[in-house]
Amino acid sequence: MLEPEEERAMRMVLEDGITKTKKIMEGNQEVNFTIDEYQRLHQCVFDLHSASYRNNSHWLLERFVKSLEESINSVVLPSFVDKRDALLLRELVLMWSNYKMMTKWLCKFFESIDRHFVPNVCYCSLNDISNNNFHDLVFKEFYVKFQDVAISLINKERMGLHIDCSSLKNVFLVFMEMHKHTGIAYYEGFESVMLEETSNYYCQVAQQWLSHGSPADYVQKVNRCLEQEAERADRYIPSGTQPKLLKVVKQQLVYEILDKLVEKQRPENCGLVTDFYQEMLSKCANMTLQEGSSWTTEEWLSALLTSSLVCPLS
């Protein structure tokens, strides 16, 4: 058993250590613990835990959790106030990185209860508790906002604006980490919404291009757009999403608009659509640009439009 004064002294040492870890959350990247500091904090937790297993162990666990909540409420959440666009995503990535560094030290200090007490009470580890706290108090509350900002930035780049690609790439990694820690498919949820938004975006683009230019202009725009979309995806979209994204873009710019494009290309002197033309149109519509084809989209569309010029002699 520890004397009351000894126990109070150990708790004060532990409080000093917790206060120092909070400086990491505040952005002080130079915070570090010497071997002596680490050993002293680790020993304090061990002695408190050993002296009164049930009472002190419960207190230690509660203090660990409270330290997480204090940092989130005093540092993380206020940091999101008035942050928009890339600044919000950048702040999320920074706060998550700092939080992981802080909890890494805390888990080291509280290793004694992590090994001998927490699994029997919580059926998980202190690291799990740390991740769940960040998820419940931060990520879960702001996820929709993070998702909307990410999609907005992607659309801004499509319109020719410069964006912070690094922040986008990093925030997708955070989405995936949250899936790993919680089992909730956050990135897949984002991917689904992003692909739907992309489909809607290019549906409108296709109609505008078709209405304000020749079929030849349209073909060139589509080819250039697909090249840009592929380059964009390669910069910050995870590899598993890239083929899905390009498929959606191609669907809206090529396959969905195909009939209208061929109709517009048809020479005026061909008159009304004949059975022969309808057959040609059907053949054109059934043409597909297969994966691995040596044809570019521009070559494929040009060949298709050339074939649509064939009209029967009257």
Instruction: Indicate whether this model's pTM tops 0.95.
Output: no
* Per-residue pLDDT tens over the stretch 143-186: 999 999 999 999 999 999 999 999 999 999 999 999 999 999 99
Q: What is the pLDDT of residues 206-262, one digit of tens each?
A: 999 988 877 778 888 888 888 899 999 999 999 999 999 999 998 898 888 877 877
Q: What confidence tens digit (pLDDT) does each residue in 286-307 have? A: 444 444 454 455 555 555 555 4
d(Cα 134, Cα 148) in Å, to the nearest integer?
Answer: 20
CB 190 within 8 A of CB 175: yes
Domains plus CATH for the chain? 4-142 (1.20.1310.10), 194-307 (no CATH)
Tell me the DSSP string of 188-257: HHHHHHHHHHHHHHHHHHHHHHHHTS-HHHHHHHHHHHHHHHHHHHHHHS-TTTHHHHHHHHHIIIIITT
The rounded mean pLDDT for the chain is 84
H-state helical runs in the chain: 4-25, 35-51, 53-71, 77-79, 85-109, 111-116, 118-122, 126-134, 140-158, 165-182, 186-211, 215-236, 242-250, 258-265, 275-286, 297-307
